[in-house]
Amino acid sequence: MKTKLSLILGGLLLLGQTAMAATSFSLNMSAQVPAATGVTLAVSQVNVNASGSILSFVPQGSAITSGSATLNFGKLQLVTNSNGSTFFSPGSTPGQSFYYAVDVAPAGAGTLNPTFTYGAGTLDIGGSAGIAFSQMTFVTASSSTETALGIHPLMKNVAATSLSGPTYFSGGHWMRMDVGLCTGNTATDPTGCVPFTGGSAAGTYTGTVGITATVS
């Protein structure tokens, strides 16, 4: 009996050693990020209340890779600001206004390098509108953060704006231009901006901002 018991225990030990054997695998991952072959431009209307808080952010069609986009402020409404002065503001709802956010981004991996020109209209809008530049950073597929660069020229002076791509737009950042009409508030208007008031000549004011962007 002792001999038979020893054989059975030995067999159990052998089976236990066979079950503990391990097999290793490896998963080789890859993903290719394509280099940018161009630049995209997208426009959104940003609706705000009297204190400047954002009410809604409304894309204006699809992004474009060439051509032009129109920023139409429409027929302005006469409003009164906090110091009792009246001026003309965009929007048809009392107590609300809007401006445009223009996003310019590489269509792929790369650093944006923008330059600007300005062409005045017959009745020129360039002295009554401003552009505030921001650096945009990707967060999720549906959100991003906006960091103001502190660069806020009059529209008619935008050609003098110098934005170094490696300084502001490397590492996946892109450029946003917040474009709006002046309100007479020196805390938010660019220096020298003149709002439209009852003393302005009636008519349609125009101007054209040219954007040339390369990717490095």
**Can you say whether residue 7 is alpha, beta or left, with left for phi > 0 and alpha for psi between -120 and 50 degrees?**
alpha
43 within domain boundaries: yes
Amino acid at 207: G
Q: Where is pLDDT greater, at 145 or 3?
A: 145
5 within domain boundaries: no
What is the rounded CA–CA span in Å between residue 83 and residue 20? Answer: 82
What pLDDT shows up at residue 199? Answer: 92
pLDDT digits (tens, 9 = 90+) for 33-67: 999 999 999 999 999 987 788 999 999 999 999 99
27 within domain boundaries: no
99 within domain boundaries: yes
Under DSSP, is residue 19 helix (H, G, I), strand (E, B) or coil?
helix
The number of folded domains in the chain is: 1
What pLDDT shows up at residue 51? Answer: 79
pLDDT reading at 196 higher than 60: yes
What is the band of 86 on the pLDDT scale with cuts at 50, 70, 90?
Answer: confident
What pLDDT shows up at residue 10? Answer: 47
Q: Considering the entire predicted model, what is its pTM?
A: 0.84
With CA atoms as reference, report the closest residue to 77 among 97, 57, 59. 97
14 within domain boundaries: no
What is the rounded CA–CA span in Å between residue 52 and residue 106? Answer: 29
- Residue 135, domain extent: 39-215
Judge contact between 184 and 172, C-beta under 8 A.
no
204 within domain boundaries: yes
Average pLDDT, integer, range 80-86 = 77
185 within domain boundaries: yes
Average pLDDT, integer, range 96-114 = 94
113 within domain boundaries: yes
- Give the CA angle between residues 197, 129, 44 to the nearest 5°: 120
pLDDT digits (tens, 9 = 90+) for 147-195: 999 999 999 999 999 999 999 999 889 999 999 999 888 888 999 999 9
Judge contact between 39 and 213, C-beta under 8 A.
yes
